[in-house]
Amino acid sequence: MPKSNDTHDTGYGSVPLSMRTVTVHGASLFEPRTGAVSTPIYQSSTFRHPGLGETTGFDYSRGINPTRTELEKTMALLEHGKYGLAFATGMGAISSVIKLFKPGDHLIVSEDLYGGTYRLFNEYYARYGLSFSWIDTSDTALVEASLKPNTRAIFIETPSNPMMKVTDIRRCAGLIHAQDGILVTDNTFLSPYFQNPLDLGSDLVVHSGTKYLAGHNDTLAGFIVHSRSDLAADLVNAQKSEGASLSPFDAWLTLRGIKTLSIRMEQHEKNARSIAHWLRSHKRVEKVFYTGFEDHPQYTLSRTQSRGFGGMISFYLKNAVDVPGLLKNISLILFAESLGGVESLLTYPLVQTHAAIPEAMRLSNGVNDRLMRLSVGIEDADDLIADLDSAFSKCV
Ligand SMILES: Cc1ncc(COP(=O)(O)O)c(C=O)c1O
């Protein structure tokens, strides 16, 4: 066992450590049994019991696994929560959140959000008696007006995917707490490095860990983090029962990714700022959606609830005819569906991330045939700009 003065007492209590330090060292600093600096991959589906009624604390890996536990504790520290739960994907995490509700419950949901979340709620959970109001949650008055006596939760993505709208976390928390419901915030776009929704009153934070947290476009992962002791057992049970728990190897990859979260996030943001400004002045681009622009409608709100603007940009081309040429001629930036990795990816939401959203809703949200979404990686910004410039110049 480590000596007490070796104990990694993060806790953000008496001796708070900075986010940079916690990302590198995780919850445990080292593995106490062997001193391993890198958390071992406990590739075991099950664990021996010393005797009847005796346990090592581990049992069967769908419910608990030591590698996953280290990651869950690390995520709890990074999101300033008491409890972390790691899932095989972001959708697995979101699906487990919905297990908290029962038929007849109503949820208010950001209309501008990842298409897979829309599909899960609308095509599946609506079948089981839950109802959803899809609204622009960046409009707090509209959120308030949409509350019903049976509204049990507000589910927001902020910044939203792909239109980069920012929802007021504190005000949504106040509204839903007044009627004893919960606020769930998808914090995928900013990661805990730039935003901690629990500090602003959110009850649960969810993540697609596939994105900035794992960070290398090489694994899928998802998280719920919270401090609600009253919901803790139910969420653990949902994770164990649903079975979408993160595998030991993917937990290790995610822990490894998190070690460099801070330096990656800073580079993503630096690059995104340069590229957003460059795109804004390009003759083939009509409009750029980037929360770091001072004239972004929620710029001031972002400054009060986040520590940075992240690495995501969306933009409208002036002409839809440029879409095939741009996607074909980028050579460094890859045309692929995901975000948050070290490699820059260009996505066409209409046919990829938001294809599951019905046309009328998609169009009213602004996801049209001219919208592109760019996840800015950590390459050299000048190289990325040169790649976009060259691809634009080859458009007809
Ligand atoms: C904001 C957001 N939340 C959740 C998800 C779902 O995550 P996963 O693909 O890890 O299931 C995504 C996926 O793109 C996303 O962009």
Residues 289-320 have pLDDT tens digits of: 999 999 999 999 999 999 999 999 999 999 99
pLDDT for the residue 396:
76
Ligand 1 centroid from CA 37, angstroms: 30
Catalytic residue check, 148: no
Measure the CA dihedral 235/237/238/244, to 10°: 110
Ligand 1 centroid from CA 208, angstroms: 5
Ligand 1 centroid from CA 164, angstroms: 15
Catalytic residue check, 186: yes
Asked if omega into 159 is within 30° of 0 (cis), the reply is yes
pLDDT for the residue 188:
98
pLDDT for the residue 6:
32
- Site to substitute for ligand 1 among 160, 164, 188, most atoms within 8 A of C-beta: 188
Residue among 152, 165, 211, 264 flagged as catalytic? 211
* Pocket flag, ligand 1, residue 208 (CB < 6 Å): yes
Distances (CA, A) of 11 to 7, 74, 86, 261: 11, 10, 19, 19
Residue among 42, 105, 112, 114 flagged as catalytic? 114
* Pocket flag, ligand 1, residue 210 (CB < 6 Å): yes
Catalytic residue check, 318: no
230-276 per-position pLDDT tens digit? 999 999 999 999 999 999 999 999 999 999 999 999 999 999 999 99
| CA 92 to chain CA mean position, Å | 13
- Site to substitute for ligand 1 among 118, 164, 211, 338, most atoms within 8 A of C-beta: 211
Ligand 1 centroid from CA 49, angstroms: 37
- Relative to beta strand 345-347, strand 334-335 is parallel
Closest residue CA from atom 14 of ligand 1: 338
pLDDT for the residue 15:
55
- The β-bridge partners of 110 are 135
Q: Which residues contact 46 (CB under 8 A, 6 or more apart)?
A: 59, 60, 61
pLDDT for the residue 9:
44
* Pocket flag, ligand 1, residue 90 (CB < 6 Å): yes
| Amino acid symbol at 93 | A
Ligand 1 atom having least distance to the Cα of 189: 1
pTM summary value: 0.95
Phi-psi region of 268 (alpha: psi -120 to 50; beta: other; left: phi over 0): alpha
Residue among 59, 62, 240, 256 flagged as catalytic? 62
In the block, residue with structure tokens 């947290």: 213
Measuring CA to CA, which residue among 138, 62, 80 is closest to residue 291? 138
Ligand 1 centroid from CA 373, angstroms: 14
* Pocket flag, ligand 1, residue 222 (CB < 6 Å): yes
Q: Which residues contact 386 (CB under 8 A, 6 or more apart)?
A: none
- Relative to beta strand 204-208, strand 106-110 is unpaired
20-54 per-position pLDDT tens digit? 999 999 999 999 999 999 999 999 999 999 999 99
Catalytic residue check, 284: no
* Pocket flag, ligand 1, residue 116 (CB < 6 Å): yes
Residues of the chain under the 50 pLDDT cut: 1-14
Closest residue CA from atom 8 of ligand 1: 90
pLDDT for the residue 158:
98
* Pocket flag, ligand 1, residue 114 (CB < 6 Å): yes
